[in-house]
Amino acid sequence: MAAPYIVTISSEKGGVGKTTLATNLAIYLKALHEDLSVTLLSFDNHFSVDQMFRLKRKETPKGDVSDLFTGASPNELIETGEYGVQFIPSCNRLSMMRRDLDDPAALARALAKSTLDGIVIIDTRPDLDIFTQNALYASDRVIVPVKDAPSMDNCRHIYDFFDAHGLSRKPLRILPCLVDGRIHFDGPFRDPYQLLKAYAINRGYRCMEGYIAKSPKVESLNTNPEGKIYPVLTHGRHTEVHVQMTHVARQIYLNSIDTDQRRLEEYLAEMVHAEQEHQSAYEKRRSNLQPGCLVCGKPLVDKEVIGPAGYFAQSSDLRVSGYLEEECFNSLVFRHFYGAKRTIEAHDPIWDLFRETAQRSYFLLQRAPHTRNFYQQKLSFYRFDDNGLEVSHKTIELQEFEKRLLSKERSDLYPLLERTLFDAQGRLGDAFLLLRKVSSDLPEEILFDQNFASFSAVMAKASTQLP
């Protein structure tokens, strides 16, 4: 099934006729094409949509527009209303949710997963809040009603939103609304419509054909003793607004059958592409891994599995990345940096303490400052917290190890440095090695996009704090 064609009515100005246009457009589309599925929803905090379309004696609604942002499927929320128009009930708690939402693509995702088709019309608040942004992001067509020069100036923010998100400006259309036919000007622009259109064109904005006139009859349709909101189609047939609404609806319908690829389809294609990029970035990281433990060399990484590994490490020059066994790294740290003279027994509580703090730490090895000379190489060992801020550091002489090496005492630090930071002459370069504890169940988790981005962010932040 084809994705629905999404039309958003948006303007940062209130009282320009958004809700009137959105609700009537739904009815006119349905009148033009009985078989067309038309779904309406509003992010405004009044209940015009529900008032106008809800059939009497409905059981309690299954949800409302806020549920589109909490994982509900649009299909489950839809109610069939008057005139055959479907709608999703409105919600007056949106302002409370606003703080917690920051993804403008959430609605596009929800709609793309649904089996909705036909045309979806979205009414918005006079605000570029996160709900309006979500509507704009998902739209094939955005109608911006303008009634005067100030409301035209406000359009700029909508255009800026499209530019900022790399969206094509093609969906955007100005529609002069509440145009007062009694006003006439001398000069080239005879009336407010001509003038608004000229303003729009002058600013590089494209317009819908025609306009919506200001009509006392239309204004009276939501002020009556019954407290109802009547459609122009049924109660204002003799107004020019009736003809104008018909014309707008016809344009929207023709646009909808004329698009090669609808916005939601484009969005889905973007998602698939992004997913492929993630996958290939992951695979690249995976294939760059050293096969063995960076300390003892024991095989840890093969085609299928990684582990058992305790730590992930990458050099800041990105030449080396791989895993270390937990034991290897822990005992290396104790031996060389925490100065443990004796071997620590497996059940010693100090291990647990270290393991526990390691979960929340990044470790870093780098040549100590001002020790470029081969014979006085020193190595610094840092601990950073989760936010990449230094917690502690300690520096040791590396020559010690050479002596030990000569005296045939086996060192575990040497092979680690050889595999990561030493150059061909056994000298420490400028790069550092950053290490992070990994989950024993899924050591490759750290290579996933978001986790790896955090690791890289700490790497960048740590490097700014090193001497």
Ligand X SMILES: Nc1ncnc2c1ncn2[C@@H]1O[C@H](COP(=O)(O)OP(=O)(O)O)[C@@H](O)[C@H]1O
As measured in angstroms, the least distance from the Cβ of 364 to ligand X is: 57
Radius of gyration of the chain (CA): 32
Residue selected from 18, 30, 141, 436 as contacting ligand X according to rule CB under 6 A: 18
Report residue 436 as tokens. 């992070």
Is residue 14 close enough to count as binding ligand X by CB under 6 A? yes
Closest CA to 127 of 158, 88, 149: 158
Is residue 18 close enough to count as binding Mg ion by CB under 5 A? yes
348 contacts which partner out of ligand X, Mg ion, none, CB within 5 to 8 A by kind?
Answer: none
Stretch 221-260: interaction string toward ligand X, x if CB under 6 A? -x------------------x-------------------
Burial (Cβ within 10 Å: 0-12, 13-18, ≥19) of residue 188:
exposed
- Contacts of residue 54, defined as CB under 8 A and 6 or more positions apart, other chains included, come to 79, 81, 82, 87, 89
Is residue 20 close enough to count as binding ligand X by CB under 6 A? yes
Task: Name which of 24 and 330 has its Cβ closer to ligand X.
Answer: 24
Closest CA to 130 of 108, 157, 149, 103: 103
Amino acid identity for residue 297 in this structure: G
Is residue 88 close enough to count as binding ligand X by CB under 6 A? no
Is residue 24 close enough to count as binding ligand X by CB under 6 A? no
Cβ pair 419, 403 in contact under 8 A: no
Is residue 214 close enough to count as binding Mg ion by CB under 5 A? no
Task: Name which of 10 and 244 has its Cβ closer to Mg ion.
Answer: 10
Task: Name which of 19 and 244 has its Cβ closer to Mg ion.
Answer: 19
Residue selected from 19, 23, 24, 151 as contacting Mg ion according to rule CB under 5 A: 19
Cβ pair 96, 76 in contact under 8 A: no
Return the bridge partners of 120, or none: 6, 39
What is the SS3 assignment for 243?
Answer: helix
Stretch 175-214: interaction string toward ligand X, x if CB under 6 A? ---x---------------------------------x-x
Is residue 16 close enough to count as binding ligand X by CB under 6 A? yes
DSSP annotation string for 413-442: HHHHHHHHTB-TTS-B-S--EEEEE--SS-
Stretch 319-358: interaction string toward ligand X, x if CB under 6 A? ----------------------------------------
Residues contributing to the site for ligand X (CB under 6 A)? 14-20, 126, 178, 212, 214-215, 218-219, 222, 241
Binding site residues, Mg ion, CB under 5 A? 18-19, 44
